Structures are given as structure tokens and as C-alpha cells.
Amino acid sequence: MQKSSFNFQYLINSQKSISSRFDYLDGYRGFCALTVVIHHIVPFHGGKGDFRIFVMAGFFIGVFGFFVLSAFLLTYKMTKQLDKCESWNQSGETISKYFIRRFFRIYVPYMFFVICVKLGPKCVKGIYKEYNSWLNLAMLKPTLGNHLWTIPIEIKFYFMIPILCVAFKLSNKYWMPVVLSSIGAMYWLYQTHLYYSAFDANLFTSNKLYVRFPIFYSGSLVAVFYYKYEIWENEWKNLVKQRFARIFIGTCSFLMAFYGIMNFSPAYNPKINIYKDSLHPGIKFSFLLFFMLIGAPNDFTRLFSDSFFFKKLGKYSFGIYLWHPMCILVVKYHKFNRQLDAIVVVLALSYLCGALARNR
């Protein structure tokens, strides 16, 4: 039976097939959500305590990890779909479905939250007091002083993905020179012409995509390389799937993750500067993601695929991201003796909100 082009439920659920295939990435997404929540909890519990590593780590590990992962999944899916299209009409239909899915998956829950912030009880604002006007939030203007700052930037990149995927498709057998040239051109532009100030990168007063574009683009490049790797027929590809090779790739993944923690947390790297991070985080996260993709299953990916906790957090990650500031109020107004107790309570409440928001 042919599926209707405007079957909204089908469009929304069509993302599940790719998510189930990369189940360990759901767990990885859940870990990113965890770092963001803990990062926002720590300032409301007296000292840094046992979780001092998460001070600012939610920004570098959680948010940038989300950016790279989101770009990978969306680019990978569209690249596969466009490759099956035999005409521009089919390509246009594929792109239209993509925008409909993004609208219902991201913008509708986002606007539901905005309406609750503006019309609901004061507690919905959570730990943040300042939000932009309803119209400005709806138009994806700078959000002002709250956690929604990532959403306008990410939605802007959604409009770039079809352009990138069509360009990759048109490059055909010259895809490698095109990709390498784009990397070189981007590095040159950001080093010589695309300068930006601390104000341009300010989390609350700027929604400029170009400041964070290289981080997203690195995720899209991983999608292209992995897609080409999948259709690559060569004996070297079979070698990568051997047990020893997976162990080696898994070990490299552990080392890269450790390196990332040591370099992205001010607890270990006091000199870190959030205003000079357009290039290097994307490179590091993209290499780690690519190792996970070609090495799975191994001990590193099983940390995420075998964790019911991480996978559930990943499944409801967007709802958790939207609603967790409200849940942190329990830490602000109730004294917890241990930081771990506060984190468990906030995570439980955030998970409940995320699940309700996803299934409403």
C-alpha cells in the first residue's frame, strides 16, 4: 500500500528506523543530555562537589555533542534518501517531507514550551527569569538569558542540510575532492575573513549560525564519509570488522573521550575559552563519532547501547532539554545533603516531563 505524501504520523515515525539502527547513538545522546542537566544543577547546590567536572562540560560536551550528532543523523538520512531519487521531483518531495518532520519534531514542542512560559505559571520558567518576547521567540530571535539559545541556531542549520546533501549528490564521483576542498576553504575563511567577537558568540544575545557552523558541518561530513564507507566494497573494509580491529578502534574511542573530557572541562583545563571554539570541538567530536560508527559493536559503543538509562534519556532528550530548568527548582528551594541526591531527583522529574512532552 502506497503511503500518502502528507501522512504526518508516518513522517514523524519515519525517523525511528534510523534511530533503532544506531541504538548506541541514542545512548550517546542521553549522555549528552545528562551532562547538560548536571551542568545546570551544580550552581544551585552550594559547591562543585563530586560533579565539578560537569561545570561548563554541559556546554562543551553536551551541547556540542548534540550539534554534531544531530547534523550527522539528519545528513545521513537525507543523503541515503536523495541517492534513491531518480528525478528532481522526487528529490523535492524528499526535502519537503524532511522539513515537515523537523517542524513537528522540533518547532511544535518548542512553541508549546514557549506558550507555557508566557501563559503558564511562573514555575515553568524554572531557574531562568528572562525570556524574549513571544513573537521574538517564535521568530527564532536571540532568546535572552536562558537555555533555549541552542534551538534557533540548530533550526537555522536544518535549512542548510538539504543544500549540503544536494551538493554532495551532484559531486558524484568527485565527492572526495569536493569535501576536502570545502574543509580547506572553511578553515581558510575562518582563519582569515570570518572573524567574530565575543558578542557574536554570546549564548543569550546572539543567534548567529556562522559562529557554530563548523561544528554542525563536521557532523554532516561524518555522515558523508560513513555513507561512502558503507557502500565501499573492498577487502580493507572487511578488515575493520575483525575482532582485533574493533578492539583497537574501541580503545582509540576511549582515549579520545578521555582527551575530550580533559580538554572540554574547566575543572581540568582552566584556560578553556568558549569564544574560540568554532573549529576544534567539531573536529574532535566528529572523529569520535566516526570511530563509534565503524567500530560498533565494541566495548565503547556498548557503554551506550547496553545502558537502559542512557537510551531512555536519549529517547526523550529534547523534552528533557526543554523542561529540566523547571525541575531544577526543587534543588533551589529544597536542601539536599548530597549533590547526587539532587541530581537523581531532578533527572527523574526531567525524564517524566520529557516523556509526557514526547507522548502528549
List of the chain residues with pLDDT < 70: 1-21, 45-59, 235, 264-280, 359-360
Q: Indicate whether 305 belongs to any domain.
A: yes
What is residue 239's three-state secondary structure? helix
CB 161 within 8 A of CB 71: yes
Domain span at residue 92 reads 8-359
Task: State the alpha helices, DSSP H only, in the chain.
Answer: 8-13, 16-21, 23-41, 57, 64-84, 88-102, 108-119, 134-138, 150-158, 160-171, 175-192, 213-231, 235-240, 243-264, 280-295, 299-305, 308-315, 317-327, 329-333, 339-359
Residue with cell 583545563: 269
Residue 293's pLDDT is: 93
Distances (CA, A) of 348 to 195, 264, 333: 42, 26, 17
Q: Domain count of the chain?
A: 1
Q: How far apart are CA 148 and CA 325, in angstroms?
A: 11
Q: Which three cell numbers stand for residue 295?
A: 567500530
Does 160 map to a domain? yes
Task: Confirm whether 316 is domain-assigned.
Answer: yes
1 in a structural domain: no
Contacts of residue 282, defined as CB under 8 A and 6 or more positions apart, other chains included, come to: 64, 67, 68, 214, 215, 216, 217, 218, 219
Task: Find cell 523535492 and name the residue.
Answer: 92
Is 162:78 a contact under the CB 8 Å cutoff?
yes
Q: Which residue type is seen at 45?
A: H
d(CA 7, CA 108): 17
State the pTM of this model: 0.89
List, in order, residues 6 or more apart from 2 with CB less than 8 Å away: none
Residue 43's pLDDT is 77
Asked if the structure places residue 225 within a domain, the reply is: yes
Is there a domain that residue 121 lies in?
yes
Does residue 2 sit within a domain? no
Residue showing cell 546572539: 206
By the 8 A CB rule, do 329 and 299 touch?
no
Residue 297 lies in a domain: yes
Phi, psi of 16 (to 5 degrees): -65, -35
Q: In this structure, which amino acid lies at residue 170?
A: L
